[in-house]
Amino acid sequence: MKIIQTASSLPVRELRRLLIPPDRFVGSELIKLQNDESHYLRRVLRLRIGDPLAISDGCGQLWQAELVDEHTVKTDPTPCEQLVQPQPPLGLAVSIIRRGFDDVVRMACELGIDTIQPLRCERTVLQAEHRPDRWNTIVREAVEQCERLWKPTVLELNSLESWLDSSSGQKAVGVTRTKKLEPLGDWLEQIAIPAQTTWLIVGPEGGWTSAERDALHNHSVAPIHLGPSILRTSTAAVAGAVELARWREQSSTLE
């Protein structure tokens, strides 16, 4: 990580943040704000003309900036902070649910998950939320709030089997009511390869069907458990995200 600060500036960690996608950095230090961004800075954060802020591109870089006018910010010429993307990438594939998927997206982002794959499984309830625009808004807000420099990706809704056919990396799946399964933490520490993209799959609260279990087995997905209790989908997803993030952090300290 590279951090640069000037004596006259506030520490960048204390500045309000705004996430602006890298395709809007068009070779100029002046960036035009969209209406919702302008409203957020002026009406929600109550920044005044000339006030400092921090701009993240969601791709590992952070700039110190200044609000030039109601619709424009000016960034410093060079980033004040740069961070290499944490390795290995962590993914969470979760059945969408009737209520609470917004919280899954928010907490997965805050905990460090890099890719979120919403799944429609055979026992996913018909009333399950599918709100991709809302989920991407939640990710943007969570990145700004928790000060992540790398923005997670929320993929398009997919079926379990189709996603298994097209995805790569090592995978574990939460299973209940099956004896002699190892905990996710043990699988990560003893079997998972730290250099590979690592996924946890969490199913619907109705459980996996026999066809889905066969598909998981055929794709060499490791069955694991997330504790002695039967967890809701949202709880299991967050508990698993904590385990994944802890394992990656521990793995990086051993290198």
- pLDDT tens-place string over residues 67-77: 999 999 999 99
Query: Which of the four pLDDT bands, split at 50, 70 and 90, describes residue 1?
Result: very low
Q: What is the pLDDT of residue 7?
A: 31
pLDDT (tens digit per residue) in 97-153: 999 999 999 999 999 999 999 999 999 998 998 999 999 999 999 999 999 999 999
d(CA 208, CA 17): 41
The DSSP code for 33 is P
The three-state (H, E, C) secondary structure of 97-157, written as one string: CCCCHHHHHHHHHHHCCCEEEEEECCCCCCCCCCCHHHHHHHHHHHHHHHCCCECCEECCC
Question: Is the entire prediction scored with pTM above 0.85?
Answer: yes
Domains delineated in the chain: 2-82 (2.40.240.20), 90-254 (3.40.1280.10)
